[in-house]
Structure 1
Amino acid sequence: MSDTDPRRDAAIHRLKAKRDLRTNLVSYVVVNAFLVLIWAATGANFFWPIFIIGGWGFGLAMHAWTVYGQKPITEEDVTREMERRGGDVVE
């Protein structure tokens, strides 16, 4: 049995998730700004960075959703799921 407080573990997990999201956001801004500069320096024809901006932006939005949008799993959720599954055996 572990002596750690589950609330402390959950708080540490959330703080790490928020830090990871901030790192992802900074990388997104820096890399995409660089790509836009390359696009502008090479003639500024078809705006090809939109593919990276859009794809990565969608991933970043999903990352933000997991950090800020999803509610944490509670003991009530676990109990309700166990009751719903009944006698199923987990392998």
Structure 2
Amino acid sequence: MDSKDVAIRRIRKRKKLNKQWQVYLFVNLILLLVWGLSGGGYFWPIWVIVFWGLSLAWEQWRFDHPEKAITEQEIQDELSRM
């Protein structure tokens, strides 16, 4: 795969992540509105906010810190340990 293909894949992934963050914010605003209009009380939206947010943050971190390709030196080092 050449660098142009990799760049295109990263652009698509970035756009997908941005869309997921937008949906996350929109849905959580609706949940907060429902919670508030239902009289408040126990703050149940926290479960969605935290766990969905952690999942998205993990995906964002993986996008921002991609795995490095395995080098020939690493292969040789592993073979010598076997």
Q: TM-score range by the shorter chain?
A: 0.7 to 0.9
- Is the aligned partner of 1:42 residue 2:35? no
Higher helix share: 2
- TM-superposed CA distance for 1:72, in Å, is 4.9
Unaligned runs of 5+ in 2: none
- Tell me how far apart the structure 2 counterparts of residues 28 and 53 of structure 1 sit (CA, whole Å): 8
Q: TM-score, normalised by structure 1?
A: 0.77
- Is the aligned partner of 1:54 residue 2:50? yes
Unaligned runs of 5+ in 1: none
Match of 1:19 in 2: 15
From 69, 76, 79, the equivalent of 2:72 is 79
- Tell me how far apart the structure 2 counterparts of residues 80 and 16 of structure 1 sit (CA, whole Å): 32
Q: TM-score, normalised by structure 2?
A: 0.84
Count of matched residue positions in the alignment of Structure 1 and Structure 2: 80
SS at match of 1:27: helix
